[in-house]
Amino acid sequence: MKLFKGGVHPPQQKNTTEMKTVAMGVPSVVVIPMVQHLGAPCQPKVKRGDTVKVGQLIGDSEAYVSAPVHSSVSGTVTRVDNVVLSGNQPVMCVEIKPDGLQEVFEEIKPPAVDSRESFLSAIRASGLTGLGGAGFPAHVKLNPPKGTKVDTLIINGAECEPYITSDYRECIENTDGIVEGILHVLKWTGIEKAMIGIEDNKPEAIKALSQAVSDIPSITVHSLPARYPQGAEKTLIYALTGREVSSGKLPADVGCIVMNVTTASFVASYLKTGMPLIKKRVTIDGSAVKNPQNVEVLIGTPLREVFEFCGGFKSNPEKVVMGGPMMGVSQFSLDLPVLKHTNALLALDETQSRIPEGSACIRCARCVRACPMGLLPFELDRLVDAKKYEEAQKIHIMDCIECGCCVYACPAKRLMVQSIRIGKDYIRRNTKK
Amino acid sequence: MENRLSMSSSPHIRSDASTSKIMLDVLIALLPASLAGVYFFGLDAALTIIVCVVSSVAFEYLARRILKRSNTLSDLSAAVTGLLLALNLPPAIPKWMAVVGSFFAIVVIKQLFGGIGQNFINPALGARVILLVAYGTKMTQWTAPRGFSGTDAIASATPLGVLKEGGELPGYLDMFLGNVGGSLGETSALALIIGGLYLLIRKVISWEIPVIYIGTVALLSWILGPEGFMTGDPLFHILAGGLMIGAIFMATDYTTSPMTRKGAIIYAIGCGLLTIIFRLYTNMPEGVSYAILLMNTAVPLIDRYTVPKRFGGDKHA
């Protein structure tokens, strides 16, 4: 096994490991954004006053790189309007007032799949996006560009972010579903083999999946040393295959497609039931949460109601993060909705939210040792501060995967990855034109 | 009730590493060598330590104030510089001279170049060399260690001085324990190694610089022996003079050493090579300070040519 260089060992905080998933039920309102993926936004297919049912299509796009959106509840559309979400951009959203009946849309039925094409269009129709974090439309990922030859499907069960256990629970609670989903993908895409990578801090998941695939030679399970960011696409591919995805290249360029465990199992459940992606297991944790647990949440549920379901807050939630503490996105309001790729919600109290005051770089080189991409974070930070973007580009600022290891490790508490984001954004905006 | 939530760009957690914790670890690691210095050279050595630390901290405070910069006393780096300076001075140095040393270390070398992380040479070593040039006589008067049987307590020579000037060399055990003449904190290899191991365990330093530096000196001193090839006395050279304190505490200074592992290896070999050249082929008895200072100035160059290989890319792509 190849081990990536660098990385950090934040405290794991997997407090919810043993907590069985609890379904939350129907919230008082759902707000469903038309963009929950990387790619073109969907156009709303419903208008105010329409009644919708569970699984009904409410947004779609002509664009290829896009994923349709479905209603997670039955009820009445109360608003179709732009809402500012955590990306600070207004996004068209459909607000639905649930009737609580959860009537299933009549047209929901298992898709007919008999070819690669029908498989891919079924995946698109399901609304599936990568559930691990980035939210890339699954049908696009499974249809690699011409000229690439994919021989390995990599199933990501690393879950290297602290706190999050939602993928772990998937491995335990839906072991067979994951395997079934992988077999579907292998069958219809013609990829020869699948490798499941799981960090060694989850021995039960490794055991369960190893047993489930013991008589399936095309699927293997691999234990990976627990180290953040083991579950990042590039480091995971490297660990399992020894192949390095260079900057600006896709995993398919080295013959790999990476899929999260929960994404894989959803493929199986969709092909069986035809129910699109309308709910998600979310780990609720953080120092301000009263009862940390894994909750099955309907997509579009306001964060506030999810936390209320978990007993509310035991201390003032100073910061609320969607995703893990290393790469998650802080939310400005508890009224924002749970999205397709939401895997965790963390409510941090004041102590945990405090941003330590930065001081001068002491050149200790901890950031250089921590960087899994082999970059010089301290130097990139300095160059962006000095607005020397071209020099920063020369030392590969665009290769940064923004994992945050440099900032985590820094004793001077410098905001290196934050500077790098600013630099990357500046370069992107000024090279396109 | 509307909660006001704080926003920030990830990551949202930090390790508990901090500059002041690192500096505190260095202070702790220097404790054995400081105590050994006081034990062998008496209370005057303790006074030298106190004067250096207090004056360094005072200069840091004043310089930052006058330069209208934030107060940085709490990062403890000034205290570390003061202590390192003391340990690199003759134990009985006139105290005003020690204050002059602190001034050069903190004000001239560190703060005028921008403060912590910005100085291009090691402040304590730079100050020591300035004092050596300015007050050569006082800077080479060595206190005889406790239990010294000779008659001339003040003019006691260092082992390397004996090597250059002639005379009876001290035994290895005395050199290992620190029972020989020399700078306040450099004589006890035992105490310095204990401190070095502490820093390694605490992951404040990596092994490359001290081990390769000392290894290079050992190898070259053995090869380039006085009676021809392979006749040298590596053990003597390792234990003598400022090599231990230099390799463990001075050459590993973050600011003035390379940022990558490969760079650190080149730098350590360079330090070892220069140390041997100075010790064997110049009039100076000791070469560690000069070797490290020279290699300090080479660090930007080393850093430029030892950029790590980026993931999925060529080194110089």
Instruction: Identify which of A323, A360, A408 has the shortest CB distance to residue B15.
Output: A408
- CATH number, span A116-273: 3.40.50.11540
- Gap from B18 CA to chain A (nearest CA, Å): 4
Beta bridge partners of A224: A199
Identify from A359, A382, A385 which residue to disrupt to test chain B contact, counting B C-beta atoms within 10 A and taking the largest count: A359
Q: What is the pLDDT of residues B204-217, one digit of tens each?
A: 999 999 999 999 99
Q: Is the pLDDT of residue A17 over 50?
A: yes
pLDDT value, residue A248: 85
Q: Which residues on chain A are in Cβ contact (under 8 Å) with B24?
A: none
Q: What is the pLDDT of residues B5-26, one digit of tens each?
A: 999 999 999 999 999 999 999 9
Contacts for B295 with CB less than 8 Å, ≥ 6 apart: B251, B267, B270, B271, B274
- Cα–Cα dist A113/A119, whole Å: 5
Task: State the SS3 of B74-93.
Answer: HHCHHHHHHHHHHHCCCCCC
pLDDT value, residue A38: 87
Is the Cβ of A422 closer than 8 Å to some Cβ of chain B? no
Is the Cβ of A163 closer than 8 Å to some Cβ of chain B? no
Query: Which among A141, A140, A181, A184 is positioned nearest to A157, based on CA atoms?
Result: A181
Task: Say whether A362 and B7 touch across the interface (CB within 8 A).
Answer: no
User: Which of the residue ranges A241-255, B158-172, B251-265 has the most confident prediction, judged by mean pLDDT?
Assistant: B251-265
CB atoms closer than 10 angstroms to residue A223: 18
- Cα–Cα dist B92/B71, whole Å: 32
Q: What is the pLDDT of residues B13-70, one digit of tens each?
A: 999 999 999 999 999 999 999 999 999 999 999 999 999 999 999 999 999 999 999 9
Q: Give the helix/strand (H/E) hosting A196.
A: strand A193-199
B273/A39: higher pLDDT: B273
- Gap from A332 CA to chain B (nearest CA, Å): 6
Q: What is the pLDDT of residues B194-241, one digit of tens each?
A: 999 999 999 999 999 999 999 999 999 999 998 889 999 999 999 999
Instruction: Identify which of A4, A360, A399 has the shortest CB distance to residue B116.
Output: A360
- Cα–Cα dist B88/B290, whole Å: 13
Confidence of residue A87 (pLDDT cuts 50, 70, 90): confident
* DSSP classification of residue B119: -
> Are A250 and A148 in contact, with CB atoms under 8 Å apart?
yes
Identify from A314, A354, A364 which residue to disrupt to test chain B contact, counting B C-beta atoms within 10 A and taking the largest count: A364
> Of the ranges A16-20, A359-363, A367-371, B161-165, which one carries the lowest mean pLDDT score?
B161-165
Task: Say whether B12 and A328 touch across the interface (CB within 8 A).
Answer: yes
Q: What is the pLDDT of residues A192-248, one digit of tens each?
A: 999 999 999 999 999 999 999 999 999 999 999 999 999 999 999 999 999 999 988
A70: three-class secondary structure by DSSP: strand
Nearest CA in chain B to A245: B312
Instruction: Identify which of A325, A411, A421 has the shortest CB distance to residue B13.
Output: A325
Confidence of residue B161 (pLDDT cuts 50, 70, 90): confident
CB atoms closer than 10 angstroms to residue B50: 15
Instruction: Identify which of B3, B14, B261 has the shortest CB distance to residue A407.
Output: B14
Nearest CA in chain A to B6: A319
Task: Say whether B5 and A334 touch across the interface (CB within 8 A).
Answer: yes
Strands (E), A19-139: 22-23, 30-33, 43-44, 51-52, 57-60, 69-70, 75-84, 90-98
Is the Cβ of B316 closer than 8 Å to some Cβ of chain A? no
Is the Cβ of A336 closer than 8 Å to some Cβ of chain B? no
Nearest CA in chain A to B311: A373
Q: Is the pLDDT of residue A289 over 70?
A: yes
pLDDT value, residue B314: 60
> Are B88 and B125 in contact, with CB atoms under 8 Å apart?
yes
- Gap from A388 CA to chain B (nearest CA, Å): 17
Q: What is the pLDDT of residues A357-409, one digit of tens each?
A: 999 999 999 999 999 999 999 999 999 999 999 999 999 999 999 999 999 99
Output the CA torsion sign for A417, A419, A424, A425: positive
Query: Which among A162, A165, A226 is positioned nearest to A18, based on CA atoms?
Result: A165
Task: Say whether B11 and A326 touch across the interface (CB within 8 A).
Answer: yes
Output the CA torsion sign for B279, B283, B287, B290: negative
pLDDT value, residue B146: 84
Confidence of residue B165 (pLDDT cuts 50, 70, 90): confident
Q: Is the pLDDT of residue B317 over 70?
A: no
pLDDT value, residue A34: 95
User: Buried b vs exposed e over B250-288: b needs ≥16 C-beta within 10 Å?
Assistant: bbbbbbbbbbbebbbbbbbbbbbbbbbebbbeeeebbbb
> Are B9 and A421 in contact, with CB atoms under 8 Å apart?
yes
Instruction: Tell me the pLDDT of chain A averaged across its residues.
Output: 95
Query: Which among B260, B317, B255 is positioned nearest to A370, based on CA atoms?
Result: B260
Query: Which among B261, B274, B270 is positioned nearest to B303, based on CA atoms?
Result: B261
Confidence of residue A2 (pLDDT cuts 50, 70, 90): confident
pLDDT value, residue A135: 83
> Of the ranges A139-143, A419-423, B313-317, which one carries the lowest mean pLDDT score?
B313-317
Q: What is the pLDDT of residues B270-301, one digit of tens each?
A: 999 999 999 999 988 889 999 999 999 999 99
Average confidence (pLDDT) over A300-320: 96
Task: Say whether B313 and A396 touch across the interface (CB within 8 A).
Answer: yes
> Are B232 and B284 in contact, with CB atoms under 8 Å apart?
no
- Cα–Cα dist A235/A244, whole Å: 8
- Gap from A123 CA to chain B (nearest CA, Å): 31
Q: Give the domain ranges of chain A.
A: 116-273, 366-432
3-state helix, strand, coil in chain A (%, to 5): 30, 20, 50
Nearest CA in chain A to B313: A246
Q: Which of residues 33-62 of B touch A (CB under 8 A)?
A: none
Q: Is B216 exposed, middle or buried (0-12, 13-18, 19+ CB in 10 A)?
A: buried
Task: Say whether A234 and B311 touch across the interface (CB within 8 A).
Answer: yes
What is the share, in percent, of chain A residues with pLDDT greater than 70?
99
Task: Say whether A325 and B12 touch across the interface (CB within 8 A).
Answer: yes
Residue type present at position B57: V
Confidence of residue B153 (pLDDT cuts 50, 70, 90): very low
- Cα–Cα dist A233/A251, whole Å: 8
Is the Cβ of A427 closer than 8 Å to some Cβ of chain B? no
**Is the omega angle on the peptide bond into residue A137 within 30 degrees of 0, that is, cis?**
no
Angular region, B68: left φ>0, alpha ψ -120 to 50, beta rest: left
CB atoms closer than 10 angstroms to residue B230: 9
Is the Cβ of A351 closer than 8 Å to some Cβ of chain B? no
